[in-house]
Amino acid sequence: MDELGPLLEGFRIQVFDAVEDLPLAGETPSLIALWVGRGNLKVAVEDLLWLRSAMVKTPVVFVCSKLRPGDLRVALSSGASGVVLEEELATALQPSLQAVGAGQVCVPRSHSEQIEPASLTPREKQILGLVVMGYMNSQIAEKLFVAESTVKSHLSSAFAKLGVRSRTEAAELIMDTERGLGTGILSLGSEPLEAIPNGNVVVASGG
């Protein structure tokens, strides 16, 4: 952590091995940078929730080596005030901490689309729901009475909105209870989709 000195000129910094050590320092910090690194964001969120109970008003910034689809939204909804990528430390850490200290929220511009849930069309939700259930493109096309190329086109659009590159990544994101979008894709909602004729599965979705 010695290399952080030049990046945090003007800040008085202390380094702790665990979040539980912070209250033992005898004073409440004005800012906390919580290193996630290559670790699991869920663990970092647990640390953040513990910090929230011990230091309610202290802004917390996550420092991550990468962000998976949905991670940024999870971090912010859990109470983080900012997220900085390790590859951008030299240019982003100090200004992000200054902005957060002034009451702002800071996130990497390259991931800013994650702040709001992906705006999927009803058909994209329907097709993604069938993907999660294990249907292949040809089977989805047959059940929805559309061309397989139409299914591929909807999936391509949905993948781009979700920030994923494959059916596996899409299914993992949707089914993940922390990052996922299952309540908007797999659950019954106020705007039911048309039933799939001659099939055993009916997928409906809320708005």
Burial of residue 40, with CB atoms counted within 10 A of its CB: 0-12 exposed, 13-18 middle, 19 or more buried: exposed
Sheet of 82-85: strands edge to edge?
32-37, 60-64, 82-85
Of the two residues 197 and 1, the one the predictor is more confident about is: 1
Q: What is the CATH classification number for the domain harbouring 132?
A: 1.10.10.10
- At residue 206, the pLDDT reads 36
Look at residue 191 in the predicted model and tell me its pLDDT: 39
Give yes or no: residues 165 and 77 share one domain. no
> Range of 143's domain?
122-185
Taking only the tens place, the pLDDT of each residue in 79-105 is: 899 999 999 988 998 899 999 989 999
Q: Whole-number mean pLDDT of the chain?
A: 79
SS3 state at 121: coil
Specify if 199 maps to a domain.
no
What's the gap between Cα 27 and its chain centre?
32
Q: How far is CA 163 from the centre of its chain?
A: 10
Clarify whether residues 108 and 28 are in a common domain.
yes
Tell me whether residue 42 is in a domain.
yes
Residues 95, 6 share a domain: yes
- pLDDT band at residue 115 under the 50/70/90 scheme: confident
Distances (CA, A) of 170 to 66, 84, 162, 163, 180: 18, 24, 7, 9, 9
Q: Which residues are 62's β-sheet partners? A: 34, 83
**Within this chain, do residues 110 and 48 fall inside the same structural domain, yes or no?**
yes
Does residue 33 fall inside a structural domain? yes
Residue 205 falls within a domain, yes or no? no
**Residue 171 and residue 82 share a domain:** no
pLDDT at 156 over 90: yes
Number of structural domains (the chain) is 2
Shared domain check, 137 and 60: no
Q: pLDDT tens-digit profile of 179-198?
A: 766 656 765 333 344 434 43
Least confident of 54-58, 59-63, 193-197: 193-197
For residue 3, pLDDT beyond 60? no
Does residue 31 fall inside a structural domain?
yes
Residues 70 and 27 in one domain: yes
Please identify, among 76, 97, 114, the residue that sits at the C-terminal boundary of a domain. Answer: 114
Taking alpha carbons only, the member of 67, 69, 66, 59 closest to residue 30 is: 59
Confidence (pLDDT) at 25: 63
Asked whether residue 167 is domain-assigned, the answer is yes
DSSP per-residue codes, 20-88: GGGGGGSS--S-EEEEEETS-HHHHHHHHHHHHHH-TT--EEEEES---TTHHHHHHHTT-SEEEEGGG
Q: Quote the CA–CA distance of 147 and 128 in Å, as a whole number.
A: 16
Q: What is the pLDDT of residue 19?
A: 79
User: Of 119, 114, 125, whose CA–CA distance to 185 is shortest?
Assistant: 125
The percent of residues above 90 in pLDDT, for the chain, comes to 27
Task: Answer with the one of 67, 92, 114 that is the final residue of a domain.
Answer: 114
pLDDT at residue 207 is higher than 60:
no
103 and 129 belong to one structural domain: no
- Within-domain flag for 200: no
Give pTM, 2 decimals. 0.66
Domain with residue 7: its CATH number is: 3.40.50.2300
